[in-house]
Amino acid sequence: MEIILKQDMSNLGYKDDIVKVKDGYANNYLIPQGYAMIATASNKKMVAENLKQRAFKEEKMRQDAEILAASYAKIEGLKIGAKASENGKIFGSVNSIQIADAIKSQFDIEVDRKRIEIVGEAIKAIGTHKATISAYKGIKTEITFEVVAE
């Protein structure tokens, strides 16, 4: 029996895949549990249309993310102030929230703190450091910023 998966199933396939399984497995488990539906002609057309629409939306989101990544690439000379001792160690550490706030105040670019990933270990010293901003799946921009003593 051919079925269309409604969600990802290990050892079977991914969402919207059309797979062949034994009749008993489909009728007694997959379909009653809501994991699959019978692959009729109308269901196949519906899934094909959904995939086409999803691909269109995915491409639009990717294009928007590339524009966003280009604006992130313009971030140069970012400075983040932190209280530090005389030997250059920071009291505490610099985190993604402080980086996002500094980008907003200095460049007027809104960045979600959850998209910022600090490269390497936690920032606990004055100096130049790197972070990666993820705009979308696979689209990342690396920025360099300087931590200065206040």
Tell me the mean pLDDT in the region 118-131: 92
Confidence of residue 10 (pLDDT cuts 50, 70, 90): confident
Query: What pLDDT does residue 150 have?
Result: 84
Residue 21 pLDDT > 90, yes or no?
yes
- What is d(CA 26, CA 30) in angstroms, rounded to the nearest whole number? 5
Over residues 77-113, the pLDDT tens digits come to 999 999 999 898 999 999 999 999 999 999 999 999 9
- Quick one: average pLDDT of 39-68? 94
Q: What is the 3-state secondary structure (H, E, C) of 107-150?
A: HCCCCCHHHEEECCCCEEECEEEEEEEEEECCEEEEEEEEEEEC
pLDDT at 137: 84
Q: What is the DSSP string of 31-52?
A: HHHTSEEE--HHHHHHHHHHHH
pLDDT score, position 103 = 95
Q: What is the pTM of this model?
A: 0.69
**72, 78, 81, 86 alpha-carbon torsion, rounded to 10°:** 130
Beta carbons within 8 Å of 120's beta carbon, 6+ residues apart: 129, 130
Identify the pLDDT of residue 7. 94
| Confidence at 36, pLDDT banded by 50, 70, 90 | very high
Could you give all domains of the chain from N- to C-terminal order, each with its CATH number?
2-69 (3.40.5.10), 75-149 (3.10.430.100)
Output the six-digit token pair for 139. Answer: 């689209």
pLDDT at 64: 93
Half-sphere exposure of 63 (CA within 13 A, CB side): 6
